[in-house]
Structure formats: C-alpha cells, structure tokens
Structure 1
Amino acid sequence: MLFSEPVQRGDDALKFLLTEAELSYPYCKATLRKGDFGRNRPVSHYPQKDGGPPGLTYPENASVSHGEDGGHAESAGLISPLSRDAKSTILFGCLFKEHTTETIDVETARKTFRTLTKVLKPGLDAFFQIERHKAQMRIQDALLSSIASPSVLMTRDKVLLGHAASGLEKLLATGSVRFKAPRFEFRNKQLEAGLQHVVDTFAGNTHTALQHGHTEAPADQSGDQSVWFEDPKGQLKRITIKAVPATGTSRNGGSAPWLILKIFETSELPEALETVLQERFELSYSEAHLARHLTMSGSMNDTVQELGITKNTAKTHLRRIFDKTGVNTQLQLAKLVHGLSSLF
C-alpha cells in the first residue's frame, strides 16, 4: 500500500480511495497518509512547496511515517482509483522507490503515471465487459434446465440473478416472499428452512441440515427440497429448491451455491387417476372424484361449486378419504394424488 502509519488514518485513506476519490486522479501518497482528504479535494488544491506542480510533493507540515513498508516510507508515490462499482474498486499505484520527495522529477513521474493509467483503463473496461457477459451466460445456463417452468435463480444471500417463464411474478404471487430489489425477504418459514437445508446439503453439512428440522434425506440424495403450502387465495402451491454450483464452486467446496426455485401450480390430472384411487384405497366414485378435483383446484370452495355438491357432503367425503388413505391434511392428500399422477 502506498500509505502507511498511523493505521487509523491509513484505514480512512483506503476508505476514501474506495468510495469517494475521483476516478483516474493521481493522489499523493503523503497527502493521503497525513489524512488531509476529508473534503474530497484532489491534491492539486493543496499548497505545494516551491511553487512546483501538484501530485508528488508533501503538503506543508506533513509528517513522514517510518512504518514497516520495506524501507520506502519516504519514497514518493501516486495512487488512483481506476474503476468503481457497487461491489469493488480497482486501485492503481506507483511507488518511485529510487526517489524521495526531494529528488523526484515531478513532471516525469506524473507523465509516467498517467501513461500507465491510460494503458490500463481500456484493458480493465474490456475485462469487466467480458466478465459481465460471462456472468450472464452462466445465469442463462443455470436457468436453461428450468426454462419450461416458472423459475427464479438467486444467490444464497437471496439476491435475484434471473428468472424464466414469469418466475418472479409467480413466486411473488405465492405470498411466500417479498422483493426489494435486488434481494428477497422470505416470509414462509418452511420455505426458508428448505432453502437452508439445500445449502447445507450442498456443502456436505448433514448435521446442520438435520438441525434445521429435516430428518429425512431426499430420495435422490441430492438435497433438493419440495415445499407445499397454500397461497393467500387458498390455492395449493409447490416450490422446489435446487442448488447449482456458482462461479468457481463445486459440491463440498465450502462456497455458497446458487439456488433455483421452481414454482408449480395445480394442473389437470388424468381421469384415470380416480380409478387408481378407488382400487388402491377403496375410495368410492364420489370420494375419488372429490380427491382429484380438490387436488387440481387447491380450494374446497371452488371444488364444491365445480362438482355441484354441498359443503357438508364435501366434508363427509374428505373425512372418509383421510381415513382410507391414512393422510391427515389436504396438503398431504395433494402430495399423495400428485405422486400417483406420475404413473400416467
């Protein structure tokens, strides 16, 4: 680093360079080290010794630090932020270690520094443009396997990366999350726990996964999770959570993965499913008919209107369905029926 002791001022100088300093301006090492940068003034605004050009000479009364910097505490130096975005700042500095502020040729040093920054800047811009393009390609590749269903791709920190087939709209409609760009806020504890389980399983942390209330491993041992719940309108929804490696990560690599959430809504189920329910669980025709339609609609009120029966009749059928199938809730019944639908 081009500035050294005292540490507190060094930290302030770094913060200034990372967040406030003018891009591509050559800031003087000594000025930064002194801590005289609070008003975000470039070094040209400071009085210079002997009327010389700004940039390398020490401001009046600046103290020289003799910290552990390789014996170059008195060497002249320049540093400049070349690029800055929300996540990072690129700093470029030159330490003219063969010279002190008394021996440096200021004009030559400044000219050399500016030439180097002019050469570096286009290369950095091209590099970041390529990286942004690569990132978009990785996002598209991750979503490609889910393109047929509404899906959302996010980071472990719940930052939205992309979505497909109106996935963002569908996810928000479930009422399970809120979105304040660029981050999601989970409102459904079951969904939050499922997401944590997938992350833990991806990292190979089975013990942590069990602590989050998941006592059974998924059938495919991948750690993928399915969460079932009702939306604000009482419609049944299912969200699957799958982990995919983010940039430069792999399973058991210790890095947080990306997460794909796929949203499934009730859909048309084959009529032949009712025959299976009758034969497998000894449901009556009316009970099997109700079980199929209730699973498709996700709403008892809609099912009653569609079948033209009373609520009392529907409740009687549902109670018998629960007894015969061994389930206890409408959600468990939906899982059972959807599982049988995969036979067709």
Structure 2
Amino acid sequence: MKLNCISFLCEFAQGGGPTSNFDGGRSSQRLNNVFFPRPAKGSDEAVKFLLEEAELRFPYCKTTLSKGDFGSNRPVTGSQQPVGARAGNTFDGPDADAHAADTAGLVSPLMRDEGSTILFGCLFKEHTTETIDVEAAHRTFRTLTKVLTPGIDAFFRTERHKAKNRIQEALLMGSACPTVLLTGDKELLGHSASGLEKLLATGSVRFNASRFEFKNKQLETAFQDVLGAFDSSGEPAVKQANSREPVKDETGDHSVCLEDPDGRLKRITIKTVPATTARNGNGSGPWIVLQIFETSDLPEALETVLQDRFELSHSEAHLARHLTMSGSINDTVRDLGITRNTAKTHLRRIFDKTGVNTQLQLARLVHGISRLF
C-alpha cells in the first residue's frame, strides 16, 4: 500500500534544542510546527515525553500526544487512528506547516543517549480515517524505523571517526612540543605522547574524570581570555564598541610563565583550533591547544643587550641569561661556578636595575627581549 507521507528526521540535544545534524534546526523546527503547533494543549509536555520517556521505535499518535494524553507511556495500538487528514490538504508553499499541523500522523524516538534524542515522524498526506489502513500504516512506520536505525548508527560512527581525525589534526599543530587539547569546558580531547604528563608536572592544573581545573590564576585568566573571543559555536564573537582585545604575546598566542614544584620555569601557550577543524567536535565553544615549553637556549648576544639596555654588569647579564635558561638558581650556581651568596647579590642588583621583582618577571623580560616569548 502506498502511504504517500511526509517524513521528518531530526536530533534534539539533551536540553531540548535542535542540533546541526539532519538538516539542523530547520527540520527540528518544522517537526515542532507540524506535530506540536502552539498553543496546542500539552505541546511542551509531549516533546519532553518523546525526548526523555517514550519507548524507542514505537509509533505514537500525533493527535493523542498533542492533547496531552501520554501518561500511560504506551505506544499506539491498531485500534488508535493515526490519521485524521481531510482530502485535498496542501503541503507545499509558505503555509505548508499550517496545513500539515491539521493532519495527524505518527512519531517515534529512534535513538536516545545521554547527549541527544533522534525523532522520526510521518504525516499522511491524502488519506482520511475512512480510507487508510491503520494496521498497514503502523507496520510501514515500524519498517521505516528499522531501516533508518542502522543508517543512523553508521552516520554517528562516521562522525566519531571524523572527530578523532580533527583531534589528531589539532594535536599536530603542537607536535614539536608537549601538547594537550581541551574543549572550552576543559574536557580532555587528546594529548601528545608527553603532553598530559608535562602539563600535570607544572602543578598548575588538577585532572579529574577527564576534566581539568586550573590551580594557577594566571593560566585560568589567560584561558578565559581566549574563550572570551569566541561564541558558544566556536566562531569569533561579535565585538562590542567598548570591548577590548585580550592581551597577547608577540607570537600572537596567550602565554603564561610559571614555576613548577621544583622551581623550574615553564611557559604554557594557549591557542585556539581554527573553526574549520573544531566544527562539529566535542564540547561547547572552540577547542583549545595548550603547549608546554621548557626553558630554551638563549643567544650569548642577549647579554650585551641586557648590559646596554639596563646597565647590567657582565656578571649580572651572564647570570640573568643562564638563570632564565635553567629556571633554577641551584643549577645556575653550579653551572657558573659561583657561590649562592654571589648569585643572590647579582640577582638583587638585576632586580633593581630592570625594575622586576621576581624570577618569573625577569624570565618574561629576558624572553621578550629575545623574541622567544
């Protein structure tokens, strides 16, 4: 029997809003308009029932649901009429949804998980309650749901595979150094071979149940500054007239210099994954790449610059450079073959001449001059 029906397939997120899958919001909006037109009695409750409680792959009568009659949580039976269409209804043109809203049909949740629910619905265009074979309509509807389910499974498997590829692509951006990839909600997406270990070793984060918590306030501030430049979809946010750009370093990335528990200096840069890579990925907002840099070799010529710019002595400039590279006063004393008291005297004079107050501030200054920071 030819049913000549209009079908709908759409996905709703856990909160009830449509996702971008299966024609995105347009398909979901049409299903809402057609099956549960406002101000129909119980429309919100009917949608909530389908998304959260309705039995999977069973046909529920649109007319019954629209009236709020779903307390029994049971699917329709052959004795329930699925259609009440008037012959000659028009389903094309600008008033298509209004015409379709007057037509009964069947709707069912096909799949449901902790993140979303997929609904499938059919409206029967030409038959009246006198001409349609109700049992045949139910059988056909169930057959369609059985056919659709494997295809939807395959679709989401493909999407998960694509997401893994996008994660790998994002990690390759920082493959030259330890790298961690997060969602805007601080959930771990992936990391390079030593990325997670190196990030945790800085002592700046906690990691629990796949989610990070920043212990370092500067790192948290930089992370939020990065997110502030994007909307929830991962696209650049529209700036207000009085808004200010977050402060970035000379490379264009946000950076934080910090001491690990052993007193060694580390630099963590924060950058976003391009929207074309992160689109349709996990989590909300853009993806965030954290890169962990160890202290680097600095050219000897930097000592001359420090002497000329801040009137440091040769010994003071020598210590400033080596201390910035090692990140440890003990290693610097050993490497330069000087006493700890001598190092402290040099360091106090360096602070006075450069105007900094801490080893971290000195490291930022030295790296900034060398354009490595």
Q: Which TM bucket (shorter chain)?
A: 0.7 to 0.9
Partner letter of residue 92 of structure 1? F
**Structure 2 counterpart SS, 1:156:** coil
User: Which residue pairs with 2:289 in the alignment?
Assistant: 260
1:196 is aligned to: 224
- Whether the 8 Å contact between 1:273 and 1:340 is mirrored in structure 2 is no
**1:124 Cα offset (Å):** 1.7
- CA distance in 2 between counterparts of 1:8 and 1:262 reads 54
Partner of 1:62: none
* Residues 1:25 and 2:58 aligned together: yes
Determine which of 91, 103, 106 is the counterpart of 1:78.
Answer: 106
Work out the number of aligned pairs and report it: 317
Aligned to 1:35: 68
Query: CA-to-partner distance for each residue in 1:256-278, whole Å, 9 max, x for gaps?
Result: 432211011235x3684686478
Give the drift of 1:92.
0.4
Post-superposition Cα deviations, 1:185-214, rounded to whole Å, max 9, x if no partner, equal 3333322332333345563748676376x3
Question: Aligned pair in 2 of structure 1 residues 329, 36: CA closer, same or farther (>3 Å)?
Answer: same
Between 1:285-294 and 1:16-25, the stretch displaced more is 285-294
Contact (CA 8 Å) 1:266, 1:298: kept in 2 or not?
Answer: yes
Q: Aligned partner of 1:257: which letter? A: P
Q: In the alignment, does 2:45 pair up with 1:12?
A: yes
Per-residue CA distance 1:98-155 (angstroms, 9 max, x = gap): 4566764221111111222223222222222222212211221121121121112223
The letter of the residue matching 2:360 is: L
% same residue: 64
Q: Which has the higher contact order (CA 8 A, sep 6+)?
A: 2
Q: Any gaps of 5 or more consecutive residues in structure 1?
A: 59-67
Aligned residue number for residue 291 of structure 1: 320
Q: Which residue in the other structure is 2:359 paired with?
A: 330
2:135 alignment counterpart: 107
Q: Distance in 1 between matches of 2:348 and 2:277?
A: 52
C-alpha RMSD of the superposition? 3.8
Per the normalisation by structure 2, the TM-score is 0.69
Equivalent residues of 1:200, 1:206 under 8 A apart: no
Aligned letter for 1:158? K
Specify whether residues 69 and 326 from structure 1 end up closer, same or farther in structure 2 by C-alpha distance, changes over 3 A only. Answer: closer
* Shift in Å, 1:233: 3.8
Contact residue 76 and residue 101 of structure 1 kept, 8 A: no
- With normalisation by structure 1, the TM-score equals 0.74
* Residue 43 (structure 1) shift: 1.9
Structure 2 counterpart of 1:25, one-letter code: F
Q: Helix, strand or coil: the match of 1:210?
A: coil
Indicate whether 1:119 and 2:152 are aligned. Answer: no
Relative to 1, partners in 2 of residues 1:38 and 1:260: Cα closer, same or farther, differing over 3 Å? farther
Question: How far apart, CA to CA, are the structure 2 residues paired with 1:141 and 1:192?
Answer: 25
| Rounded Cα–Cα distance in structure 1 between residues aligned with 2:332 and 2:118 | 61
CA distance in 2, matches of 1:273, 1:38: 80
Q: Give the corresponding residue for 1:210.
A: 244
CA distance in structure 2 between the partners assigned to 1:242 and 1:120 by the alignment: 40
Residue 170 of structure 2: aligned partner: 142
Equivalences for residues 196-275 of structure 1 within 5 A: 196-200=224-228, 203=236, 205=239, 210=244, 214=247, 218-219=249-250, 222=252, 224-247=253-276, 256-267=285-296, 269=297, 272=300
Cα 1:36/1:170, change in 2 over 3 Å: farther
Listed one character per residue, the Cα deviations across residues 312-331 of structure 1 (whole Å, up to 9, x for unaligned) are: 33221101222444543211
CA distance 1:272–1:218, change in 2 (3 Å): closer
Letter in 1 for 2:75: V
Secondary structure of 1:86's aligned partner: coil
- Determine the C-alpha separation between the residues in 1 that align with 2:242 and 2:182: 21
Is 1:168 the counterpart of 2:168? The answer is: no
Aligned to 2:118, which of 46, 66, 90?
Answer: 90
CA 1:80–1:230 in structure 2 vs 1: closer, same or farther (change >3 Å)?
same
Q: Secondary structure at the match of 1:192?
A: helix
Tell me if the contact between 1:147 and 1:165 (Cα under 8 Å) persists in the aligned partners: no
Partner SS state of residue 244, structure 2: helix
Between the aligned partners of 2:295 and 2:217, the Cα distance in structure 1 is 22
Aligned in 2, Cα 1:176/1:278: closer, same or farther, shift over 3 Å?
closer
Aligned to 1:320: 349
Letter in 1 for 2:225: H
Gaps of 5+ in 2: 1-30, 85-95, 231-235
How far apart, in 2, do the equivalents of 1:101 and 1:74 lie? Answer: 13
2: CA distance between counterparts of 1:55 and 1:306? 88
Q: Do 1:200 and 1:209's aligned partners in 2 also have CA atoms closer than 8 Å?
A: no
Q: Distance in 1 between matches of 2:250 and 2:306?
A: 27
Report whether the alignment pairs 1:152 with 2:183.
no
Matched residue, 2:160: 132
Q: CA deviation at 1:34?
A: 4.0
Give the letter aligned to residue 210 of structure 1.
Answer: R
Aligned partners of 1:75 and 1:98 also within 8 Å = no
